[in-house]
Amino acid sequence: MKIAIVSGKDEGPTKLNAFDNALTDAGIGDVNLIKVSSMLAKNTEITELPKLKAGAMVNCVLSEITSDNPGDEITAVIAVAIGEELGCVVETTGINENPEDLTNEARKMVEYMMEKRGVKTKELIIEKSTATVEEIASVVASVVYLNDEIIEG
Amino acid sequence: MKIAIVSGKDEGPTKLNAFDNALTDAGIGDVNLIKVSSMLAKNTEITELPKLKAGAMVNCVLSEITSDNPGDEITAVIAVAIGEELGCVVETTGINENPEDLTNEARKMVEYMMEKRGVKTKELIIEKSTATVEEIASVVASVVYLNDEIIEG
Amino acid sequence: MKIAIVSGKDEGPTKLNAFDNALTDAGIGDVNLIKVSSMLAKNTEITELPKLKAGAMVNCVLSEITSDNPGDEITAVIAVAIGEELGCVVETTGINENPEDLTNEARKMVEYMMEKRGVKTKELIIEKSTATVEEIASVVASVVYLNDEIIEG
């Protein structure tokens, strides 16, 4: 299994458009995202996000939050734990919550998931996107599951 | 990529059953719908909805709203913009909102998505379903992604 | 089409972890769940849940509820009706609602779906998970769609 870990943020004229712009900023704006729950196969490899085919069906874990309340600090976090037998992903978001606290919560939750399964964490990656809303803004962080079918060229 | 654009509406004895009846009215009641976000591949072709296999796994963008408040006017809208390089889909719904306004909002949002991507819109289709609730009603509008695996016969 | 019908429940240190533990209790904690709506193909066969590959993409109908309010009685119900031409699934949940009532509602809704389609029910299965919350608890019930790709070994 190969995954890419990405994040993005942007403003937009509507909540939907801000969200769409944030996805584009993360490099996943031109595909169809199918949300899945949050497990990784054994020997999962993390790579750079390749160019995806427009309109491809792409499985992902998505952390996203959008706000139209100027001044809000919005944060999307993904925590990824990689182990030999399997891996786990946690996503969490917050409005006007300390990004550091959110990150710690996500780390704790994913560590607990690994411990509960008796799997040793070989690598733990946190991806985070934070923004202060000007008019309407969205932040996203995502684990994107890759396969040959969805990669361009 | 081939898609069908459909809509439906119906009443039912519960919210779940009203929704299910509206899906059946739209021709997609006997399949498993997997909701995806909203991008179309290059050269997307719009066709009539073929007969789908019962229980097939069908990717779709789904706009749906259900109400058990008699007198409510409920509306589900899908706006589809087709371009050479890719296409975009927007879904929106409203309760007691002017269907014309909802349609215009959806059109504007999808036009913005195309402009932002620098893709020229060759065709723009709006699909809308509106109903006034008698007891419990549901309206749906959907872009259904087609492939040989899910088509009957 | 082959399906397994499972359920589980557990406590955990956060809502996310309680939910994850309940999925593990149900035997589907190590896979990626993709939620689909609720139709079964003709000649659907019910089997025991096999060992699934860690990180596999698994289609399912999922009924789940999580509460961090000690004393709450939480219930997740799945009702499955199998017919010759197709089958239907209903999921419902409740907090501090009579599990018997929830079960009856689910049964009625799925019977209505079958009648509406003019399909005779050959078999009707109810799966239910109920728990009284100690600190943070989750209950799940699920129809898991099986195929060779997701089964271990």
pLDDT in tens, A67-102: 999 999 999 999 999 999 999 999 999 999 999 999
Predicted complex: ipTM over 0.85: yes
* Residue whose entry in the numeric block shows the structure tokens 């620098």: B118
Q: What percent of chain A has pLDDT over 90?
A: 97
Q: Which residues of C touch B31 (CB under 8 A)?
A: 37, 39
pLDDT for A6 beyond 80: yes
Q: Map tokens 């010759």 to a residue.
A: C84
Q: Which residues contact A65 (CB under 8 A, 6 or more apart)?
A: A74, A75, A76, A93, A94, A95, A138, A139
Distance CA A27, CA A47 (A): 14
- Give the pairing type, strands B45-46 and B2-11: parallel
The pLDDT confidence band at residue B52, using thresholds 50, 70 and 90, is very high
Under the banding of pLDDT at 50, 70 and 90, the label for residue A43 is confident
| pLDDT bucket at B120, cuts 50 / 70 / 90 | very high
C153 — pLDDT class (breaks 50, 70, 90): confident
pLDDT at B43: 86
What pLDDT sits at residue C2? 96
Contact (CB<8Å) B55/C1:
yes
Q: Closest chain C residue to B34 measured between Cα atoms?
A: C36
pLDDT digits (tens, 9 = 90+) for A106-129: 999 999 999 999 999 999 999 999
Cα separation of B88 and C70, whole Å? Answer: 46
Dump pLDDT digits (tens) for C116-137: 999 999 999 999 999 999 999 9
Distance from the C147 Cα atom to the nearest Cα atom in chain B, whole angstroms: 13
Q: How many Cβ pairs within 8 Å bridge chains A and C?
A: 56
Whether B40 sits inside 8 A of A55 (CB atoms) is yes
pLDDT at residue B136 in the model: 98
With a pLDDT cut of 90, the percent of chain B lying above it is 98
Alpha-carbon span B3 to C101, nearest angstrom: 41
Distance (Å, whole) CA C102 – CA B109? 40
What 8-state DSSP symbol labels residue B149? G
Q: Where do the H-state alpha helices sit in chain B? A: 15-26, 99-116
Query: What confidence tens digit (pLDDT) does each residue in C65-101 have?
Result: 999 999 999 999 999 999 999 999 999 999 999 999 9
Of B16, B30, B34, the CB nearest to C90: B16
Beta strands A137-146 and A2-11 are antiparallel
Please enumerate in sequence order all residues whose Cβ is within 8 A of that of C113, keeping only pairs 6 or more positions apart, or say none: B17, B20, C81, C88, C90
Task: Specify the pLDDT at position A11.
Answer: 98
Query: Mean pLDDT across the stretch B59-74?
Result: 98
Bridge partners (DSSP) of residue B142 are B6, B62
Above pLDDT 70, what percent of chain B?
100
Contact A113 C34 (CB under 8 A): no
The letter for the amino acid at A153 is G
Partner B contacted by A60 (CB < 8 A):
no
Give A134's pLDDT tier (boundaries 50, 70, 90).
very high
DSSP H helices, chain A, are: 15-26, 99-116
Which helix (H) or strand (E) covers residue A78, if one does?
strand A73-83
The partner residue sitting opposite B33, judged by closest CB among C37, C116, C145, is C37
The identity of residue B79, as a single letter, is A
- On the question of pLDDT at A42 being above 80, the answer is yes
Tokens standing for residue A109 = 């939750």
How confident is the model at residue B24, as a pLDDT? 98
* pLDDT above 80: residue C143: yes
Residue B14 contacts C, CB cutoff 8 Å: yes
Residue B153 in this model has a pLDDT that exceeds 80: no
**Do B58 and B121 form a contact (C-beta atoms < 8 A)?**
no
Does pLDDT of B104 surpass 90?
yes
Three-state secondary structure along B51-79?
CECCCCEEEEEEEEEEECCCCCEEEEEEE
Catalytic residues of B: 32, 37-38, 91
Using the 8-state DSSP alphabet, how is residue B151 labeled? B
Q: Which of B71-75, B127-131, C41-45, C108-112 has the lowest mean pLDDT?
A: C41-45
**Count of CB atoms within 10 A of residue B98's CB?**
11
What pLDDT, on a 0 to 100 scale, did the predictor assign at position C116?
97
A19, A20, A136: best to mutate for the B interface, most B CBs within 10 A: A20
Q: Which residues of C touch B54 (CB under 8 A)?
A: 39-42, 85-86
